[in-house]
Amino acid sequence: MGYRAEYNSWKANPEGWWMRAADAIDWDVAPTKALHDLGDDLYEWFADAKVNTCWNAVDRHVEQGRGDQAAIIYDSPITDTKSRVTYNELLEQVSGLAGALAAKGVGMGDRVIIYMPMVPEALVAMLACARIGAVHSVVFGGFAAHELAVRIDDCTPKAIIAASCGLEPGRVVEYKPLLDGAIAQADHTPDFTVILQRSQHPCEMGAADVDWHDFQKGTSLADCVPVAGNHPAYILYTSGTTGAPKGVVRHTAGHLVALNWTMKNIYQVEPGDVFWAASDVGWVVGHSYICYAPLIHGNTTVVFEGKPVGTPDAGTFWRVISEHKVRSFFTAPTAIRAVKREDPKGLERQKYDLSCLRALYLAGERADPDTIEWARDMLGVPVYDHWWQTETGFTIAGNPAGLEALPVKVGSPTVAMPGFDVQILDDGGHPVAPGELGAIAIKLPLPPGTLPTLWNAGDRFRKSYLTTFPGYYETGDAGMMDEDGYLYIMARTDDVINVAGHRLSTGAMEEVLAGHPDVAECAVVGVSDQLKGQAPVGLLCLTTGVNRPHDEIVGECVKRVRDQIGPVAAFKQAVVVDRLPKTRSGKILRGTVVKIADNEAFKMPATIDDPVILDEIKEALQTLGYAKG
Ligand code: COA
Ligand code: AMP
C-alpha cells in the first residue's frame, strides 16, 4: 500500500488501523480496544492491555533466535573505545540491574532519574526500569545542578542512576559534584544513588552511593513485570515558556506500537539492520531512536559518544556508518552543518565506503536547503527531513520512505503520518487555505505514543496544548501546507528556541538573568546562527546607578546561565541596552529584536560567537534608540 492509501485507511478507521499495528507487539494481555476517551479532550491508547516494554525490546528477540545479534554497538571516539552488546548480553545486564533495583525496593510506578552520558549502561538503566515497571526520567548531561534539582523535586525519584563523568572534547564533565549539588538543592532526597564508575574519572563515593557493579552482587535476576497499557514508561522534561520544564509523560503500550511502526515505514529498516541516531539519550530522539524503537524492532542500535567534528575529525560520522554498516542514519541538521563547515569538499567522506547507507534523516530543528543539498550530494542517498517534538515522541510529518518514497521538496519535512490530522489554523482557529501561514495544530485525539498529559501538571497540559484551539493539540509551531499536503515549519509561536538541535526556553534564561543584582530587566531572543540554527542573545537593562564596566556584568550573566541552566544553553552573548522594545502595554517585542539581530547576523558568514555580529546588533539597536552609543 502506498502512502495515500495507508493514510486514508487510517483516517477511515483510526482504531482499526492502530489495532492492526498493535499486532506486532507481544502482549501479556492483548488490548480489547485501541482508544479510551476519558472525556474533556483526554485520551489513552490500549489502556486495558498488559505488556512489558523490556520484554518487547530484549527478551522476545532472544526467544526468537536473535540472542547473538548485536543489540548495541558502542563507538566512543572520545575514549577510543568500541564494543558490542548482544541481545543475550543485554538481557543478562538488564535483568541483573533490574533485580538489584527491585531488591532495594524500587518497584511499579517508582521514579528513577538517570543522569548518564552516551554509554551502553544508559540504555541498560532505562530498560531495567521498564522491566520492573519503574518510571525513568533521563536528564541530559549538559544541564547544571539546578536543572537536575528541579527535576528531582518534580518527579521525586526513589533512586538516581548516574555515571561518575561525561566527556566533552578537552574536558571531563564531573557528574558527581553536579549530582551532589542537585540533591543538596532539592527538597526531595532519593533513597540511594547507583554510580557507574568510569575509568576516565572515577568519583568519591558518598554514604548513599553504591557502585554499579557492587550493587548487583548477591541479588537475583528480575523477570519482566507486565504493566497496564497506560502505565507511564517514562517522564522526559522539556523546555516550555517558563523556567519550569514540562514533564512529558509517555504511556507504555502506545509507545511500543507507534515506535515499532516507524522503523520499517519511515526508517526503512528490517530487524537485524544497523540503525544509528547520533543524538543523546537525554533528548527525545535518544529515547525513541537510540534506545527504544531500534530495540523493539530487533535492530542493532549505535551508541555514539563523540562529536561530529573534532573527535577526531570531520570524517567520524562517515567512519561509523561505514565500519558498522549503518543502513539508516538520523541526526540533527546542526551536526551536518558542523561537518560541512569543517570539510566543505567532503575530503573525509571520500575515505569511506558508504554503500551500506540507504538514507539520512534529519530532525530536531529546521533543516536549511543548503545543508540538505550538501548532504545529499555528499552521501548520494536521499536526505529526509522530518518534524516532530518531545511531546509526540515520533514523526508528525515525514517522508514515509518504507511505505513509499515521496518526492522530496527541499524545505519541507513532507507529509503528515497516519495518526496525525495536521491543520493550519488562523487566530480564530479556522483552517487556512493551502499556502497560507498559520498555527500548526493537530486534531484530537493524538495517536498512540504521544503525550497523554504532563507529570504532576494536568492543568498546565491543558493550558499549554488544548485551550487555544478547542478540539486540537497546539504544536507551538507555525507554518503552512501546500496543495500536495506538504508541510513547511517556519517558526515557534512561543518563547522556545532551538540551539544546535537542543530545545531551550528563553524564559528560563531570562529568569536566571533577572536574578543578577545589576539587571533590572532583560530579554533573551534566539538569533539566527550559521552553525547552530539559533543562538541565544541577551538584552540587559541595568539597574539605575550601576556604573560597572558592561563587559564585567555581561561576563557574570553568561556564567550565571551556564552555572544554573548548564553549558548546553550555549548562552555566550549579551548586550547592555537602555530600554527594551515594548508595546504600549509593556509586552517585550521579541519579534522586533529578532528581526534587528537576524538582519545583522545574516549579513556575514559568521556565528553569533563572533563579537563582530554582536557589535553590529548593538549598533542597530543604537540607531533605533534602544541603546546609547
Ligand atoms: N554534557 C556536558 N556538556 C555538554 C554536553 C553534555 N552531554 N553536550 C554539550 N555540552 C556542552 C558543550 O561542551 C558546549 O560547552 P562549551 O560552551 O564549554 O563549549 C556547550 O554545552 C554547548 O554545546 P553545543 O551547543 O552542542 O555546542 P558544541 O560546540 O559542543 O557542539 C555541535 C556543536 C554542532 C557539534 C553539536 O551541537 C552537535 O553535535 N549537535 C547535534 C545535536 C543533536 O544531536 N541534537 C539532538 C536532536 S536530534
Ligand atoms: P524537541 O521537542 O526538542 O524535539 O523540539 C521540537 C521542536 O523542534 C519543534 O516544535 C520544532 O520547533 C523544532 N523542529 C523539530 N524538527 C523540526 C523540523 N524537521 N523542521 C523544523 N523544525 C523542527
pLDDT classification of 629: cutoffs 50, 70, 90: low
Expressed in angstroms and rounded, the spacing between residue 501 Cα and the centre of ligand 1 is 9
Expressed in angstroms and rounded, the spacing between residue 21 Cα and the centre of ligand 1 is 36
Give me the mean pLDDT over the 333-354 stretch: 98
- Assess whether pLDDT exceeds 80 at residue 177: yes
Q: Which ligand has the minimum distance to the alpha carbon of residue 474?
A: 2
d(Cα 435, Cα 49) in Å, to the nearest integer? 42
- pLDDT of amino acid 605: 64
* Rounded-to-10 torsion of CA 343, 346, 347, 351: 130
Output the residue whose Cα is nearest ligand 2's atom 3.
503
Tell me: the pLDDT tens digits for 275-292?
A: 999 999 999 999 999 999
| DSSP state string for 123-174 | HHHHHHHHHHT-EEEE--TTS-HHHHHHHHHHH--SEEEEESEEEETTEEEE
Are 198 and 220 in contact, with CB atoms under 8 Å apart? no
- Assess whether pLDDT exceeds 90 at residue 401: yes
Mean pLDDT is lowest, of 46-50, 152-156, 194-198, 243-247, for: 243-247
- Assess whether pLDDT exceeds 80 at residue 607: no
Plot region of 364 (φ>0 → left; ψ -120 to 50 → alpha; else → beta): left
Tell me the residue ranges of DSSP E strands in 269-371. Answer: 274-277, 300-304, 326-331, 359-362
- Assess whether pLDDT exceeds 70 at residue 346: yes
Are 113 and 151 in contact, with CB atoms under 8 Å apart? yes
Q: CA torsion sign, 428 to 429 to 433 to 436?
A: positive
Taking the CA of residue 542 as centre, how many other CA atoms within 13 Å lie in the half-sphere pointing to its CB? 19
Rounded to the nearest angstrom, the gap between the alpha carbon of residue 125 and the centroid of all alpha carbons in its chain is 18
Query: Which residues sit with their C-beta closer than 6 Å to ligand 2?
Result: 238, 284, 363-367, 385-390, 413, 476-477, 489, 492, 498, 503
Output the residue whose Cα is nearest ligand 1's atom 42.
501
Are 448 and 419 in contact, with CB atoms under 8 Å apart? yes
Expressed in angstroms and rounded, the spacing between residue 388 Cα and the centre of ligand 2 is 6
pTM beyond 0.95: the answer is: yes
d(Cα 432, Cα 425) in Å, to the nearest integer? 6
- Assess whether pLDDT exceeds 90 at residue 593: no
pLDDT classification of 618: cutoffs 50, 70, 90: confident
* Rounded-to-10 torsion of CA 4, 398, 429, 393: 120
Expressed in angstroms and rounded, the spacing between residue 501 Cα and the centre of ligand 2 is 8
Q: Coil, strand or helix: which one is 499?
A: strand
Segment holding 508, helix H or strand E: helix 506-514
Query: Which residues sit with their C-beta closer than 6 Å to ligand 1?
Result: 141-142, 166, 168, 173, 279-280, 283, 285, 307-308, 332, 334-335, 338, 363-364, 499-502, 532, 567-568, 570
- pLDDT of amino acid 497: 95
- Assess whether pLDDT exceeds 90 at residue 1: no
- pLDDT of amino acid 595: 85
Tell me: the pLDDT tens digits for 518-574?
A: 999 999 999 999 899 999 999 999 999 999 999 999 999 999 999 999 999 999 999
Average pLDDT in the chain: 96
Locate cell 528490517: which residue?
A: 270
Q: Coil, strand or helix: which one is 440?
A: strand
Tell me: the pLDDT tens digits for 16-32?
A: 999 999 999 999 999 99
d(Cα 49, Cα 53) in Å, to the nearest integer? 12
Expressed in angstroms and rounded, the spacing between residue 140 Cα and the centre of ligand 1 is 11
Which atom of ligand 2 is nearest the CA belonging to 503? 3
Maximum C-alpha span of the chain: 74
- Assess whether pLDDT exceeds 70 at residue 604: no
Are 437 and 431 in contact, with CB atoms under 8 Å apart? no
d(Cα 332, Cα 265) in Å, to the nearest integer? 20
Rounded to the nearest angstrom, the gap between the alpha carbon of residue 36 and the centroid of all alpha carbons in its chain is 27
Which atom of ligand 1 is nearest the CA belonging to 334? 34
Tell me: the pLDDT tens digits for 42-92?
A: 999 999 999 999 999 999 999 999 999 999 999 999 999 999 999 999 999
Pairing relation of β-strands 42-45 and 35-39?
antiparallel
- pLDDT of amino acid 623: 80
- pLDDT of amino acid 611: 75
Q: Coil, strand or helix: which one is 46?
A: coil
d(Cα 301, Cα 364) in Å, to the nearest integer? 19
- Assess whether pLDDT exceeds 90 at residue 599: no
Q: What is the C-alpha end-to-end distance of the chain, expressed in Å?
A: 65
- Assess whether pLDDT exceeds 80 at residue 608: no
